[in-house]
Structure 1
């Protein structure tokens, strides 16, 4: 009873529930109080400077030195009044997380007088040491220069750590020669392109539309495990997932956790998380139990994509800090527990006009439904043409465990649209070339006048679809829970922007030949449907039949990350991103290299952890129990109960075989890892780690270790078990 596991269990039993007291019973009283948002800017800046900054935010106009100084002074005054002592440029390097370097407002003047200072130059640009951030070969290691530049479209905010507060300024991160070293810079470009392209299409239907904003809502799934139990598991501590462990007799099969009553301790954690999020302007509106025991989800209101992504990155950071206060460990890994539901980050995406219209929302007006169908069909075509890019956007070592694992979308990209919308699309396709004489009702000919009552039924959801239409938005369900949503959002908005540009060219070409605008739109959509309808699938994405059917349709099925990432450096991909001015060939190749390296390192770490745990935790425990059984056999023989020893001797032999196999496999995997580490080519090394190490050894070593867990006396097993981590709260 003296093992770390039982000490951890004792701690859990003594846990109290941390009391949470919101600042006010009304969220509106403190929402955004730690955010330098538009409301604060309006109060603290002159009307001229405020207007100039709004133009920079909305129209991308340059910020002059005078306005930058004024904004910096206002930020400093506001932050210091809130107790801040430092500021930082908060950015998102290619590590997939966020980074920050804190500088004090405090300065010494030339005569040694202490003062608080923050100039516009420090707001707009900083030069952090970039040498240790991944660049994928964009620069040499000794070239440490990288620059962060203020992103005024995302509000600055205050973060508190202990008694210290820091002003965080969202920024992009670029190299000395201008290449993006982060995930935000390409996203901002993609959002600008989709705005321009979508606005031009909206002009066909409404001349009042001058801007289209991409919006996003991120549903964040995660596990909450008691901190003491997580700390007693080296695998959870270092890799974020349990590399060993037997599924408990009762898991999620009764579906009694899903949407069930939230445990009191977890509820208080969620309440404090919401309070801290509201203070930072993060509009969380939903919380609930997820499918697996100890799995939960929070979801916000929709926001502009860039802000939504910043808020999601910030939310994950807040969750970890709040969890520590409640003695929890947050697990964001896509598959922390084998044979249990994994975690995703469902990206709910739509396009909103400056007139307040969601282009993916059906209407009671036939003309508006033609606009809806225009954006709907073009999105489907973009997904069809660039499905492999979307697959690459969600590729990671963690998500490889989740995709297709009977609770998440498969690695095959397809789009669910529902039976009713499928019927509408089929009717539009089969109507043939539409010709309208004077006085004819085009919308009635198309059946569009009948669409609203059909579309207002928001279609059934399909949990097996990676890209599903859910009434007035598309839900990119295949995104992993650890992901920075900037990556899939950059690709999705880029391919849709490109497709809308192509659509305008096709329609305008028909109009130039004398075709009526509406007819040109319809006939172009019909051609697109015929081209891309293979991407539409409303059935069970988990089934073997779908794998066969997808192959017939020519859809890719790339189950693992190293090969899924190949598309990033294909000629067509490079041509697309360079044409759209999102990323250069060098930037794409750099990301390909960085993502492969990340995949290698994660599998390398997991392999080392497995060997360490097998040698230092599991094998010694197996030997200890084996020796106890041997002593038991000796004792039974001494008193003449030889026949009673046979079953025990059989158990000893089975344990001995498991121990022997664990030692052998661990040694072989270590030797294989040494061989693979010597491979110079990054792609070949990543594939070798995937196929020659992970595929050959991980599951087999785990099987033997998990068998020992079922045989060894519970009193001496050293690692917290699944039943304890998932059910003891």
Structure 2
């Protein structure tokens, strides 16, 4: 047992859960303590400056430079008092990771003395080099610089460097020298602004007191956790984020005993630790539990404004990775790190709230409120129906491609689930012009146990197999991948709903101009919308083959490959929508398409190279050594006249030879396919070749390698096995 695998197992098995102490007994004493939030600003800023900053945040207004100087001074004072030595504009480039460039809080005078310095100009804007970030053709070689700009709507925060110092992180947008967005945040902010204007205009038909609509988001984050030593003993996990080989263990998730089970001690300590750190940063994480697959878990926050929720999710993922290192663990955000068990998603729970405290997607039994609810519900359904392919494009990635369509994730077909009650309400609207939303009477379960309090059944349905499901007072987009930045999906979702609400307002105003009564005109429009879009509604099992056939009969798209899905971004209809809503110009959309294709190509390319290396340098070489041992044993038996006894060993020798030859030939074919793809200059065509001709070899090679894992002596097998990776205690 001298190989690296067993050394890693020995280390992993010796680990114990770390003790984690709460900062204080009450969460309220430390929640947001590391954020430059509204309460801190009220204390440190003048009343005039505080009012201007908060007004700018609520009205999407601009903060002038004089106020920025005062805010910068307050930020520096607050941050340095808490041990900060540097500051950075924290932004989200299109790499999929967060980025930061740290600058010290001091400057050198002409006399050579160090003085603390942080002006408003440094707060408002920084100039990182944009040349190494994905730009999709937006950046010329002589225009390498980029600019980050402070987003005051997302509070600045302190990040512990882990080496005794802290850095003040300032959430920021990131743009090119020529002014185009190079990040996720800028288009998202524009989409949120577009939805606010469109939804507020529609709300005015029902309530003049509504002057602002704020989209909200609660992203449930699924992830796997493995021991750190075992992680580094798997080169594919290190380089590709997923295991390209691995035979299914005798016990996986089939007993369903992991889901909501007792959280393993080491994992629980890690969860408690990152939750404490999250709360200090103002992130309202509330839920933790085991997920379905062994080694899989989930964390979920309270709903927040979409921009803040997206920032917090990106920060949370970064924080989880840092805290896991302290616990000798590694977090895996890849959508499908292990074959044969459930993959991980990031369920985006989305809704819209008004400044008057109304959730626009909350059903009501009052006629006026019911009509308003149905107005927003039907418009959301129509937006998804008319732009289903574009919404599908937002979840396209190399990682999510492994997950979508499997038996634990929504299919690539975009459908909407409303539940029996709401579907009936819309059918009544269409056939009878009745505007009623029956929330139903409370129904209680009869358990026959008097000591148990009465349990009430939720009258809203829930369909875990639907990619876009209504869940009581919000929609849950379940198809987003766990490693994704939710900004991409949220940008498109808010943009398409804003565009649809603008179309609804135009349709309604045209009818009102003809003298039609408002309520009747609204009902007629909703009836027409519903009749034209109800084919996207599906109440059944989205995992079933029958649904795939039914969806085809309905004319719904089933875009399975990421390159094909991403192509929807640059279709004329998509470009026109982004331009109409002011979210992105043509160059920005086209650059994102180019970037996403390049990311897809690089991810598949890395997986292919890792697969070839492991197959030939680890698996085949090990199999041949083991074959030599068996051959020696077989020869010895034959020499002793035990030909019959040598027969089974010869069968194993033949199997190893057959599988080794198949692996070698498939790897060579895969390399040839990769070379062919790399020689293609057109990015779209190269991505398609990687999606088909290169990826087509993956399952073939994996099958042969996983079969060898069953044959080769356990003590000789070089790769940490699934049974060892998945059951962390």
Q: Same fold (TM over 0.5)?
A: yes
What CA distance in whole angstroms lies between the structure 2 residues aligned with 1:460 and 1:630?
62
What CA distance in whole angstroms lies between the structure 2 residues aligned with 1:383 and 1:300?
25
Question: What are the within-5 Å matches in structure 2 for residues 352-367 of structure 1?
Answer: 352-367=353-368
Q: How many residues matched?
A: 715
TM-aligned CA deviation for residue 542 of structure 1? 1.2
What CA distance in whole angstroms lies between the structure 2 residues aligned with 1:60 and 1:408?
37
Q: Match for residue 682 of structure 1? A: 683
What CA distance in whole angstroms lies between the structure 2 residues aligned with 1:557 and 1:346?
20
TM-aligned CA deviation for residue 640 of structure 1? 2.2
Deviations 1:302-353 (A, max 9, x none): 0000000000000000000111011111000000001110000000000000
1:293 and 1:726 in contact (8 A); partners too: yes
Question: What are the within-5 Å matches in structure 2 for residues 323-402 of structure 1?
Answer: 323-402=324-403
Q: Match for residue 86 of structure 1? A: 86
Q: CA RMSD in A?
A: 1.2
Q: Match for residue 286 of structure 2? A: 285
What CA distance in whole angstroms lies between the structure 2 residues aligned with 1:96 and 1:450?
43
Question: What are the within-5 Å matches in structure 2 for residues 191-230 of structure 1?
Answer: 191-230=192-231
Question: What are the within-5 Å matches in structure 2 for residues 155-304 of structure 1?
Answer: 155-162=155-162, 163-304=164-305
SS at match of 1:158: strand
Deviations 1:531-564 (A, max 9, x none): 1101100111111111111112111100110000
TM-aligned CA deviation for residue 709 of structure 1? 0.2
2:363 and 2:437 in contact (8 A); partners too: no
Q: Match for residue 104 of structure 1? A: 104
Deviations 1:204-263 (A, max 9, x none): 111111100000000000000001111100000111100000111111011100011111
TM-aligned CA deviation for residue 492 of structure 1? 0.1
Q: Are 2:510 and 1:509 aligned? A: yes
1:131 and 1:142 in contact (8 A); partners too: no
Q: Are 2:116 and 1:128 aligned? A: no
TM-aligned CA deviation for residue 507 of structure 1? 1.2
1:417 and 1:468 in contact (8 A); partners too: yes
What CA distance in whole angstroms lies between the structure 2 residues aligned with 1:89 and 1:73?
16
What CA distance in whole angstroms lies between the structure 2 residues aligned with 1:249 and 1:725?
13
2:264 and 2:728 in contact (8 A); partners too: no
* Structure 1 stretch displaced more, 677-686 or 366-375: 366-375
TM-aligned CA deviation for residue 366 of structure 1? 2.1
Deviations 1:23-73 (A, max 9, x none): 112111100000001110011001100000011111122111110000000
Q: Which runs of 5+ in 2 are unaligned?
A: 444-456
TM-aligned CA deviation for residue 459 of structure 1? 2.2
* Structure 1 stretch displaced more, 655-664 or 587-596: 655-664
SS at match of 1:448: coil
Q: Are 2:422 and 1:412 aligned? A: no
What CA distance in whole angstroms lies between the structure 1 residues aligned with 2:526 and 2:82?
54
Deviations 1:617-674 (A, max 9, x none): 1011101110110111122123221110011001101101111111111112112211
What CA distance in whole angstroms lies between the structure 1 residues aligned with 2:464 and 2:98?
30
What CA distance in whole angstroms lies between the structure 1 residues aligned with 2:480 and 2:73?
40
2:126 and 2:149 in contact (8 A); partners too: yes
Deviations 1:387-431 (A, max 9, x none): 001000110000011111011000000001111111111110112
SS at match of 2:726: helix
What CA distance in whole angstroms lies between the structure 2 residues aligned with 1:141 and 1:325?
41
What is the TM-score normalised by the length of structure 1?
A: 0.97
TM-aligned CA deviation for residue 364 of structure 1? 3.8
Distance 1:646 1:669, change over 3 A: same
Distance 1:590 1:453, change over 3 A: farther
Q: Match for residue 453 of structure 2? A: none
Distance 1:621 1:29, change over 3 A: same
What CA distance in whole angstroms lies between the structure 2 residues aligned with 1:596 and 1:177?
23
Q: Match for residue 26 of structure 1? A: 26
SS at match of 1:727: coil
1:126 and 1:147 in contact (8 A); partners too: yes
Distance 1:409 1:450, change over 3 A: closer
What CA distance in whole angstroms lies between the structure 2 residues aligned with 1:519 and 1:144?
57
What CA distance in whole angstroms lies between the structure 2 residues aligned with 1:449 and 1:677?
57
Q: Match for residue 436 of structure 2? A: 448
Deviations 1:265-310 (A, max 9, x none): 1111100010000000000000000000010000000000000000
TM-aligned CA deviation for residue 520 of structure 1? 1.0
SS at match of 1:220: strand
Q: Match for residue 437 of structure 1? A: none
TM-aligned CA deviation for residue 454 of structure 1? 9.2
Q: Which runs of 5+ in 1 are unaligned?
A: 433-445
* Structure 1 stretch displaced more, 104-113 or 81-90: 104-113
What CA distance in whole angstroms lies between the structure 1 residues aligned with 2:84 and 2:30?
18
Question: What are the within-5 Å matches in structure 2 for residues 668-707 of structure 1?
Answer: 668-695=669-696, 697-707=697-707
SS at match of 2:543: coil
Question: What are the within-5 Å matches in structure 2 for residues 415-494 of structure 1?
Answer: 415-431=416-432, 446-448=434-436, 450-451=438-439, 453=441, 457-494=458-495
What CA distance in whole angstroms lies between the structure 2 residues aligned with 1:37 and 1:104?
22
Q: Are 2:42 and 1:54 aligned? A: no
Q: Match for residue 144 of structure 2? A: 144
1:313 and 1:484 in contact (8 A); partners too: yes
TM-aligned CA deviation for residue 458 of structure 1? 4.6
2:150 and 2:173 in contact (8 A); partners too: yes
Q: Match for residue 439 of structure 1? A: none
2:626 and 2:713 in contact (8 A); partners too: yes
Question: What are the within-5 Å matches in structure 2 for residues 510-549 of structure 1?
Answer: 510-549=511-550
TM-aligned CA deviation for residue 113 of structure 1? 2.0
1:424 and 1:451 in contact (8 A); partners too: no
* Structure 1 stretch displaced more, 363-372 or 149-158: 363-372
Q: Match for residue 616 of structure 1? A: 617
Q: Match for residue 450 of structure 2? A: none
Deviations 1:487-541 (A, max 9, x none): 0000000000010011111111111211111111111100100011011001111
Q: Match for residue 5 of structure 1? A: 5
What CA distance in whole angstroms lies between the structure 2 residues aligned with 1:614 and 1:100?
37
Q: Match for residue 440 of structure 1? A: none
Q: Match for residue 452 of structure 2? A: none
